[in-house]
Structure 1
């Protein structure tokens, strides 16, 4: 692989977790292996490595875009990633409130549901939020 792939793999694991990334890479077959390489090399090894936005800001943007695109599996993954990148539940909530206004209430309702499920799985008390 390339240096960009290696850098992307490291960051992808840091944000999304070793288990998820290892499963994605190890379960790749001849059909979807090129997609795994593309995502790792160019998404995580190039765009996510650029200066100008930090990981928290990139996570906020991803949450909004993925919510707007109605991609629940990716949203669940990126809620965990956002938490790993230091976003607080309040920040995640506020991103999803923006989604409600600019993308529509149905998109926000689904996104809130997914975000709450992930945060509960992570042991976050959603009735006692700070920061």
Structure 2
């Protein structure tokens, strides 16, 4: 994975001391304690950089990752998946970065296959089905039943927009989408209720505690110790 950090030539040229410290930790020691695949590590890193608002680092690592094991379609779907969680205000600049990196690589983004599996008529139904798969039908029904008066529409947004429009897409399987969501929420910080729910959802779709701890391990250099320790505390509490 050190080839990813080799793209940060300006740091290496002008501050070799920091470059060596960070490279040895973030692209060396950290991986001694992770069981993620190379692709999972790349997706986790890129997702964290979106949530942390690090467009320059994202661009450099994306460019290197496309020469490794990351498919253009997976990069596109990673960004799509981020929108309901970080918001379009944060994700907006990264669409431009992907376009520029793809153009430099000779990848024609408009020619990538469309991966939507819903229509305006069935997006809520399809979204609800996935919500129930990830969280359980009883959990979702209770959430809807207990919505405060005048705020029921936010649950409809979750059902149709978040899950109907995005989770139903091809290009990433359920495990990877929920894994990416977990990374985004940990990286955002201060989203404890959502992190608890999505930690359990990861378990429900087949991602185990070891994978979640490995994800936090890999992104720790980007999010810092406070968010890391808060994320680990919640994982330990939910997973036991």
TM-score normalised according to structure 2 size: 0.48
Q: Is the 8 A contact 1:76 1:115 kept in 2?
A: yes
CA deviation map 1:10-48 (0-9, x unaligned) = 110110122221111111244211111111011111100
Structure 2 counterpart SS, 1:45: helix
Whole-angstrom CA distance in 2 between matches of 1:58 and 1:109: 23
* Alpha-carbon separation, structure 1, partners of 2:222 and 2:205: 24
Q: Which residue of 1 aligns with 2:222?
A: 102
Provide the residue aligned with 2:81 in structure 1: none
CA deviation map 1:44-93 (0-9, x unaligned): 11100001111111111111110111111100100100011111211111
Q: Following superposition of structure 1 onto structure 2, how do residues 59-98 of structure 1 map, counting pairs within 5 Å?
A: 59-70=178-189, 71-98=191-218
Q: C-alpha distance in 1, partners of 2:152/2:137?
A: 18
CA distance, structure 2, for counterparts of residue 92 and residue 8 of structure 1: 24
1:22 aligns with 2:141: yes
* RMSD between aligned residues: 1.5
Residue 151 of structure 2: aligned partner? 32
**In structure 2, what is the Cα distance between the partners aligned to 1:104 and 1:112?**
12
Contact map agreement 1:100 1:106 (CA 8 A) in 2 = no
TM-score (norm 1): 0.85
Would you say how many aligned residue pairs link Structure 1 and Structure 2?
120
Q: State the partner residue of 2:32.
A: none
Whole-angstrom CA distance in 1 between matches of 2:156 and 2:178: 21
> In 2, distance between residues paired with 1:108 and 1:46?
30
The offset of 1:100, in angstroms, is 1.3
